[in-house]
């Protein structure tokens, strides 16, 4: 190291690969992030989202790039860059955050994330993940069994629900479609039955597999957004009559927009009667399996062939970290069968070479956080987290019902609540809140109408935050911001 040390040249690599530089920047980072966390949780800023138009922010970041260089020796980024990132980012840890479905990370997991970033074991094959591969196998088997998927079950971790849904459908194609699509391509156009309110990634997966728009057969739902069993039967008959080979039915647990759970019992027996693969998109709501109080909506999930569950939504794990579980663990190998002499020695099922079951080759050491929580707490920490988040949604629903002029879409089954102010321009109302704060919520549109939408992701959110959110919306609705 000594021979190539060039401390007088700021960008020489040898300045950065030292334990000393690492320790110094880490110490500063811990202090700064702890302060950020404390100030966010204490609502010390008067906004969650520091709103400015995207064009303005792009001009800012571009202008910084015009001033490249000029750092002191040993600095990997400019001192005020992190400050700007903190200042401009959406403050998820502020208890007034009730926006999109992403975990408010359990703060200490940032350190595990840092540790695994430093280790950077790529996980594709056992040698590149000698700790994290068996950790993944062990913890995924236990969680799969906890979910009721049975003694042959298992699963893998991957980067996101989108990828998990695609992977599950690839396995479904191998198990159910005529011929060997992985080897020879699809013989016939296949199709998947899915709720009209499914997340767009299911449709995207179908198109990626080459079945086009027709490959996603959108099944009509009841007024509560649950798949209508009658329409399910009709959709299968119609799709088959059109020459499509229907291979799977996908259940929502729950829908992104309104948090509605399909009747998974009904879908499971429909799939069984018609020899279809049954996949549950539980990216958001499968996490409720950990809660005795809130798991009733998942009845039937244990009969699924595959289930996607995001640890980075209700379970406090930083994004991205998704579990894809299979009732028959061997099905995971059906999704991919790749000859790659530089990686594998054979095409056998080898649990320790994880990329035989994942789309990714290199992936992050995702198992460490999941294993850590599971080993330390079993399902209990997740149970208390899920209960708290759903309790926040139920508290909001009660308050909405008690206030005149407000309309609740439905009693929340999860931590998602949709509601609107009668007679108001709810899209403008949401925009006004985004621009002026202090709370952060989102909106959704269905049947051509806009609804306000909160996903209560932050366990620190108090009843008083919920009241002040509704008060603030009423104030904005009255104000000249949205009343020209």
Judged by CB under 6 A, the residue of 281, 305, 331, 391 near ligand PLP is 281
Written as one string, the DSSP assignment of 282-314 is -TTGGGGGG-TTT-GGGTTGGG-SEEEEETTTS
Establish if 162 lies at the interface with ligand PLP (CB under 6 A).
yes
| Cα–Cα distance measured from residue 219 to residue 159, given in angstroms and rounded to the nearest whole number | 28
Identity of the residue, 284 or 327, whose beta carbon is nearer to ligand PLP in the bound complex: 284
* 308-337 binders of ligand PLP (CB under 6 A): 310, 320, 322
Say if residues 198 and 252 touch (Cβ distance below 8 Å): yes
Judged by CB under 6 A, the residue of 95, 129, 161, 323 near ligand PLP is 161
Q: What Cα–Cα distance (Å) separates residue 53 from each residue in 56, 100, 384?
A: 6, 19, 38
x/- mask, ligand PLP, residues 65-104, rule CB under 6 A, reads ------------------------------------x---
Residue 405 Cβ vs ligand PLP, minimum distance, rounded to whole Å: 29
- For residue 106, the tally of other CB atoms under 10 A from its CB is 18
Identity of the residue, 119 or 222, whose beta carbon is nearer to ligand PLP in the bound complex: 222
Identity of the residue, 285 or 459, whose beta carbon is nearer to ligand PLP in the bound complex: 285
Identity of the residue, 199 or 420, whose beta carbon is nearer to ligand PLP in the bound complex: 199
| Cα–Cα distance measured from residue 296 to residue 287, given in angstroms and rounded to the nearest whole number | 12
- Residue where the block lists tokens 């027709």: 214
Q: With contacts defined by CB under 6 A, how many residues of the chain interact with ligand PLP?
A: 13
Identity of the residue, 251 or 437, whose beta carbon is nearer to ligand PLP in the bound complex: 251
Q: Candidates 143-151, 184-192, 281-289, 440-448: pick the segment binding ligand PLP (CB under 6 A).
A: 281-289
Return the C-alpha torsion angle 270, 272, 276, 279, nearest 10: 80
| Cα–Cα distance measured from residue 126 to residue 351, given in angstroms and rounded to the nearest whole number | 9
* 178-237 binders of ligand PLP (CB under 6 A): 199, 201
Q: Candidates 91-99, 119-127, 154-162, 469-477: pick the segment binding ligand PLP (CB under 6 A).
A: 154-162
| Cα–Cα distance measured from residue 322 to residue 156, given in angstroms and rounded to the nearest whole number | 8
The three-point CA angle 455-199-55 to 5° equals 70
Q: Per DSSP, what are the bridge partners of residue 194?
A: 218, 250
Helices (H), 185-343: 200-208, 229-241, 264-273
Judged by CB under 6 A, the residue of 92, 246, 283, 421 near ligand PLP is 283
Please, what is the end-to-end C-alpha distance for the chain in angstroms? 67
Residue 31 Cβ vs ligand PLP, minimum distance, rounded to whole Å: 31
Residue 312 Cβ vs ligand PLP, minimum distance, rounded to whole Å: 7
* 242-261 binders of ligand PLP (CB under 6 A): 256
* 360-389 binders of ligand PLP (CB under 6 A): none
Establish if 294 lies at the interface with ligand PLP (CB under 6 A).
no
Beta sheet of 449-455, edge-to-edge order: 406-408, 416-421, 449-455, 442-446
Residue 34 Cβ vs ligand PLP, minimum distance, rounded to whole Å: 28
Residue 389 Cβ vs ligand PLP, minimum distance, rounded to whole Å: 14
Residues that bind ligand PLP (CB under 6 A): 101, 160-162, 199, 201, 256, 281, 283-284, 310, 320, 322
């Amino acid at each position: 190291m000594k021979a190539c040390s060039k401390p007088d040249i700021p960008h020489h690599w040898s300045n950065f690969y030292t334990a000393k530089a690492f320790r110094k920047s880490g110490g500063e980072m811990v202090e700064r992030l702890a302060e950020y966390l404390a100030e966010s949780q204490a609502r010390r800023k008067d906004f969650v989202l520091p709103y400015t138009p995207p064009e303005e922010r792009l001009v800012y970041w571009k202008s910084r790039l015009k001033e490249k260089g000029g750092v002191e020796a040993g600095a990997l980024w400019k001192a005020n860059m992190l400050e700007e990132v903190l200042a401009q980012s959406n403050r998820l840890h502020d208890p007034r955050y009730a926006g999109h479905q992403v975990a408010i990370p359990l703060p200490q997991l940032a350190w595990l994330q840092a540790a695994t970033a430093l280790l950077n074991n790529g996980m594709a094959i056992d040698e590149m993940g000698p700790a994290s591969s068996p950790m993944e196998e062990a913890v995924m088997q236990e969680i799969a069994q906890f979910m009721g998927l049975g003694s042959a079950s298992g699963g893998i971790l991957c980067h996101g629900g989108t990828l998990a849904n695609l992977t599950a459908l690839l396995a479904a194609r191998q198990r159910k479609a005529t011929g060997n699509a992985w080897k020879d391509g699809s013989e016939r156009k296949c199709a998947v039955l899915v709720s009209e309110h499914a997340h767009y990634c299911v449709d995207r997966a179908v198109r990626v597999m080459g079945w086009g728009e027709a490959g996603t057969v959108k099944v009509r739902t009841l007024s509560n957004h649950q798949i209508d069993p009658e329409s399910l039967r009709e959709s299968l008959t119609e799709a088959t009559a059109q020459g499509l080979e229907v291979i799977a039915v996908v259940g929502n647990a729950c829908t992104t927009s309104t948090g509605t759970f399909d009747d998974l019992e009904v879908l499971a027996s429909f799939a069984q009667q018609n020899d279809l693969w049954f996949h549950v998109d539980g990216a958001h709501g499968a996490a409720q399996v950990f809660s005795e109080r809130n798991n009733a909506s998942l009845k039937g999930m244990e009969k699924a062939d595959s289930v996607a569950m995001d640890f980075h939504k209700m379970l406090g794990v930083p994004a991205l970290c998704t579990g894809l579980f299979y009732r028959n663990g061997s099905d995971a190998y059906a999704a991919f069968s790749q000859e790659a002499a530089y990686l594998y020695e054979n095409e056998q099922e080898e649990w320790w070479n994880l990329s035989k079951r994942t789309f990714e080759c290199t992936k992050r050491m995702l198992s460490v956080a999941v294993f850590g929580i599971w080993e330390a707490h079993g399902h209990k920490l997740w149970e208390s987290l899920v209960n708290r988040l759903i309790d926040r949604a139920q508290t909001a629903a009660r308050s909405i019902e008690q206030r005149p002029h407000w309309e609740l879409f439905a009693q929340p089954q999860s931590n998602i609540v949709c509601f609107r102010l009668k007679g108001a321009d709810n899209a403008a109302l949401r925009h006004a809140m985004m621009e002026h704060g202090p709370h952060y919520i989102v909106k959704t549109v269905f049947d051509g109408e806009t609804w306000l939408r909160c996903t209560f992701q932050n366990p620190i959110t108090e009843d008083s935050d919920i009241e002040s959110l509704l008060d603030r919306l009423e104030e904005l609705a009255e104000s000249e911001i949205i009343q020209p």
